Amino acid sequence: MAETQKPRILIADDDLVSRRVLEAFVSKRGYDVLSAANGQDALRLLSAEGAPRLAILDWMMPGMEGTDVCRKLREQSGERPYIYLLLLTSRTDREDLLKGLQAGADDYVTKPFDPAELDARLSVGQRILDLQDKLIAAREELRFRATHDVLTGMVNRGVVLETLSREHARQKREGGSFGIILMDIDHFKHVNDAYGHLSGDAVLREISAVMQSSLRPYDTIGRYGGEEFLVVVPQSDAAAAFNIAERVRRAIEKQTITAQDREIRVTASLGVAATAQAGALEPQTLLNLADEALYRAKRNGRNRTELAADSPPAANEPAGTGSHHNQM
């Protein structure tokens, strides 16, 4: 079993003896210690990637005092991890202590420090950092759930439609072509009825992974609803979008899914629509065209790709038929 990583702490003090005493104290309490002899070095170390989350800063240091380090750290923008700052000071006046807290320090310890007091204040700092990490994790989970489909892990309907709108806006600014693919798993209701909803979920998860691996890194696929998926394919004319759709269709056709100790094979029908710089189409028009092409693919036997009739012609368009497997 891997060892638990030690929490890291920065000790900044220009007095060598005082610094060594602090280093020995926090090391015995399980901290991995990083040291600085002045404020400039302390600021540099705390501003770096992967900096310690706890720091003890001597108030009086040459060049840059501990309060200056606190202030500059708090002024740094971005979503960098929070650093809990303890000021070490011989000052005990209320106004001085308030000045330190207003500069951005979280707490203070008076010199010479009392071991039990410092231990308690470090414990408080660590609890606050742990709580913040849990809050950040919860926020990220909520953000993920708001933008992704939990079952498949791909972006949800709202996000993929936003991507379509952005690609349309980019086309209006810069020109060029792009396409969309609307895909539906064939006879998916039969999968749920014959094998159960757990198996149906397993099919959706695995087919989602197959689709994503068949696309280009800059294509965006999202769950459009139920067993239906939408792909936005930038920088693609009708022929390129059609070829990508066919690659996805063939990958799905070849995939064998094991769920509940059963092997399941499925196919998909796909509708493709594209828009060129000349006569650029609105997003809703593209969606309607792709939807019509998708249902034409289903009427024509399923397990096939159809290109929307109003899309720009695809040079040397490949045949839209694929071998039809009646797995259900």
Q: Would you name the residues annotated as active-site residues?
A: 227
SS3 279: coil
- If we measure between CA atoms, which residue out of 325, 328, 296, 314 comes closest to residue 182? 296
d(CA 235, CA 282): 16
d(CA 144, CA 138): 10
Question: Whose structure tokens read 């696929």?
Answer: 221
Under 8 Å CB-to-CB from 74, ≥6 apart: which residues?
Answer: 103, 104
Phi and psi at 262, nearest 5°, equal -125, 150
Q: What DSSP designation does 198 have?
A: H
Question: Whose structure tokens read 């990490």?
Answer: 133
C-alpha pair distances (Å), 144 with each of 137, 138, 304: 10, 10, 33
The answer to whether 307 and 293 have CB atoms below 8 angstroms apart is yes
3-state secondary structure 299-321: HCCCCEEEECCCCCCCCCCCCCE
The β-bridge relationship of strands 268-275 and 54-58 is unpaired
Under 8 Å CB-to-CB from 270, ≥6 apart: which residues?
Answer: 181, 182, 183, 184, 245, 246, 248, 249, 293, 294, 297, 304, 305, 306
Total count of residues recorded for the chain: 328
